[in-house]
Amino acid sequence: MNFWLELVVKTVLVLILVVLPVALVVIFGELKISAHIQSRIGPYFAGGRFGWAQPLADGAKFIQKEDLIPAGADNPVFRFAPYVVLMGTFATFVVIPFGPDLAAENLDVGIFFLLAVSSLSTLGVLMAGWSSANKYSLIGGLRAAAQLIAYELPLVLAALAVVIQAGTLSLSGIVEAQANMEIFGLGIHLPYVLTGQILSFIIFTIAALAELSRIPFDMPIAESELTMGYLTEYSGLRFTMFFLGEYAAMISLAAVASTLFLGGYYLPGLSGDALKVAGPFILLGKTLILCFVFIWMRWSWPRLREDQLQSLAWKWLIPLALVNIVVISIFKVVL
Amino acid sequence: MTDIDARAAMHLSDASVSVELETQGMTLNIGPQHPSTHGVLRLVAKVEGERVMSVQPVIGYMHRGYEKLTEVRTYAQITALVNRIDWVSGFANEIPWIRAVEKLMEIEVPERAQWIRLILTEMTRISSHLLFMSSYPLELGAATPLMYALREREYVMDLIEGLTGGRFHPNFNRVGGVKPAAGGGSTQKKVSQDLPAGFFQGTREAMDRIDSVMDELDELVTGNEMVRARTIGVGVIPPEKAIEFGLSGPNARASGIDFDLRRDGEPYLPYDQVDFDVITEQTGDSFARYLVRKEEIRQAVRIVRQGIDNIKPGPLQAKVPRVLKVPKGQTYVRTENPKGEMGFYLISEGGRIPYRVKIRSASFCNLSILSWILEGALVPDLVAIMGSLDFVLGDVDR
């Protein structure tokens, strides 16, 4: 089959089978968890019980809204921006392994591809901010661009430490390396976060939060200063796309963090066919746990300032990540 | 200037354009409809990137002409108007107004009514400051403290509503005392001449709840590293600037000005018989203003508890003529409201209607420092500083 056709089919399949259902679950989780953190009940009636249909109802409501394009907007760019955001996010799912031999495309340079395309969505954010003909949107878009430069380096450097330890750029390879790694010959195979990568994991998580523009790093949106930042002028279906893109990105980064640090689809004690069956669910479970942590942070903390993020990234995360790489490399050579 | 000079100047300007990228300042119009302007304040900010170069506040979107209205309303009717000046502390607004009228009429208010006024004023202070405790973290980006603080504020609002009939606009003060409980017609005067049953018990319970939620908020907000990073050292007001701009209330006390009309002013309610501390902070930044308000809630809880302990049975209302006629004269009464100093300058020419009333509201003066303090701030700090000044637009525009 044609390579491109195959890629499109696989991407669509991953989207329909994985991204959309999990995104709905995470949106519902955000509604419920935030409600319980704030001592509210949250959605209750939609769908009969527990308000499980609330994300669907919200989506249906958004679709009914008028699709507004501001008079001064750069029309094609304004229309195209949500797709760029979604594309950058959805493309990451192609390389995430959901089980042994269960990835849409097991690229040899998986992690490289993933980090490259996930930065694409920031381009969409910048397009949205620029084309909206709104000063709040512009500031929001520029903040997103500044944020990209600040957090992308620690993110890549933290992932690099894992790549050094695993000796491969392929995501499946990284999971297998975690499954096969012996520490001190004890016969227990632990994920990387417990075997020397704890610092990379923390750096990666912080940088991922900044990439997601979630509190405490949601300066591009910052509803109390910039109304809604680059989202200010979007409504209806286009807003829904940004909204979906945000949650899809959260799942994608949580899945990547699980793959790199928490063993991905691998669980100690499982192997062979059992792992093949349980793999996707194990990855999903780890992803959802990380998503819960992201949601928890969002509803407990205020937002930092743009310059504080920059100084955090340049003065702390990047030097720490570099030191981390040196330490990991030494261990890799010595052990 | 000769021709050659002009040409040289042109070249020079060309050179500067090609050498350095010149950026153009942007005028950012914040408000009147904006999530964090507390109503309809408009700020015309000149920004360069994230840096605010100058700010021009534009007010008047809420102007309702109360000073003019007072010239065509009777004294009793004006009580209902002054409720709406600073709508989050309605009861406290009534005190300086009623006090001014009573002072001109030389009416001695019964002791029980004085204590009820004191308890309700402090409960209003709690509710106003709890609103600050909820909205300020929200402006910094934290959504959860809002729910916690508003939940407890609701208990205070319920008590005020149960007592006065109005959540926001109690309209409870009468010249010479306070309004007896609802349903008090002439036939039921004997049974209904006091507060609703269970009010004091309910108030005690609410105060306990507020103490516990303050501990919760301490953990959630005060100790939070990010709140500290966002507020400490942001928007510092030196004491002399605070005095220059006429700041009052918690904003001035956060700059180290140890002045509180409850303690230092002309006595107006039995504050001399209760034990409380005037909270001051020395740093004058946004965090200090937050701390002062937070501690003032605890002090207000203390005052309310003592008020309940000290109150004695007695009449609620002094003997007042049926038609209120204020003798000729003028007076100025100021009180310590939750937002700061509130004053009424009342001129009476005799008769049922005041000649002129000048309202000095705290938020108006507190807001006047905005253009000085926001100069050179960052856009996120603009929100943090504006929120920490805690003004209400109804109080600004009147």
Domain positions in chain A are: 3-334
Mean pLDDT along residues A285-290:
90
Residue A261 to chain B, least CA–CA distance (Å): 27
Q: A33-64: b or e for each residue (b if 16 or more CB lie within 10 Å)?
A: bbbebbeeebbeebeeeebebbbeebbeebee
pLDDT at B256 over 60: yes
**Mutation site, A305, A308, A311, interface B, largest B CB count within 10 A:** A305
Q: Name the token pair of B258.
A: 């140890």
Residue in chain A lying closest to B230 (CA): A304
Q: CB B224 to CB A302 under 8 A?
A: yes
Establish if A306 touches chain B: CB-CB under 8 angstroms: yes
CA atoms within 13 A on the CB side of B106: 3
Contacts of A225 in chain B (CB under 8 A): 36, 379-380, 382-383
Establish if B232 touches chain A: CB-CB under 8 angstroms: no
- The single residue listed with the structure tokens 């996010």 is A89
The torsion angle over the Cα atoms of residues A115, A118, A123 and A128, rounded to 10 degrees, is -160
Residue-wise pLDDT for B11-36, tens only, equals 555 544 445 556 677 888 887 888 77
Whether B376 is covered by a domain: the verdict is yes
CATH number of domain containing B336: 1.10.645.10
Residue in chain A lying closest to B27 (CA): A135
Query: What is the Cα–Cα distance from A202 to A191, expressed in whole angstroms?
Result: 14
Mean pLDDT along residues B126-131:
90
Contacts of B52 in chain A (CB under 8 A): none
Count up the domains in chain B and report the number.
1
Q: CB B141 to CB A301 under 8 A?
A: yes
Whether B243 is covered by a domain: the verdict is yes
Residue B147 to chain A, least CA–CA distance (Å): 6
Among residues 223-242 of chain A, which lie with CB inside 8 Å of chain B? 223-227
Q: CB A302 to CB B140 under 8 A?
A: yes
pLDDT at A125 over 80: yes
Q: CB A305 to CB B151 under 8 A?
A: no
pLDDT of the residue at A187: 60
Whether B287 is covered by a domain: the verdict is yes
Q: CB A227 to CB B140 under 8 A?
A: no
pLDDT of the residue at A90: 82
Query: What is the Cα–Cα distance from B199 to B205, expressed in whole angstroms?
Result: 10
Q: CB A38 to CB B226 under 8 A?
A: no
Phi, psi dihedrals of residue B222, rounded to the nearest 5°? -60, -40
Q: Which of A102-106, B161-165, B174-178 has the lowest mean pLDDT?
A: A102-106
pLDDT at B302 over 80: yes
pLDDT of the residue at A188: 64
Burial of B180 (0-12, 13-18, 19+ CB in 10 A): middle
Among residues 12-71 of chain A, which lie with CB inside 8 Å of chain B? 34, 37-40
Contacts of B383 in chain A (CB under 8 A): 224-225
Query: What is the Cα–Cα distance from A201 to A263, expressed in whole angstroms?
Result: 12
Establish if A214 touches chain B: CB-CB under 8 angstroms: no
pLDDT of the residue at B184: 43
Whether B2 is covered by a domain: the verdict is no
**Whole-number percent of chain A with pLDDT over 90:** 1
Contacts of B151 in chain A (CB under 8 A): 39
pLDDT at B90 over 50: yes
A vs B: CB pairs below 8 A: 81
**Mutation site, B30, B33, B41, B50, interface A, largest A CB count within 10 A:** B50
Whether B21 is covered by a domain: the verdict is no
| List of residues 6+ apart from A135 with CB closer than 8 A | B26, B28, B29
Residue in chain B lying closest to A216 (CA): B141
Residue in chain A lying closest to B147 (CA): A38
Q: Which of A95-104, A157-166, B37-46, B99-108 has the lowest mean pLDDT?
A: A95-104
Residue A301 to chain B, least CA–CA distance (Å): 5
Whether B17 is covered by a domain: the verdict is no
Contacts of A39 in chain B (CB under 8 A): 147-148, 151
Domain residues for the domain of B74 are 26-185+194-397
Query: What is the Cα–Cα distance from B105 to B326, expressed in whole angstroms?
Result: 6
Which of A40, A139, A302 has the CB atom closest to B147's CB atom? A40
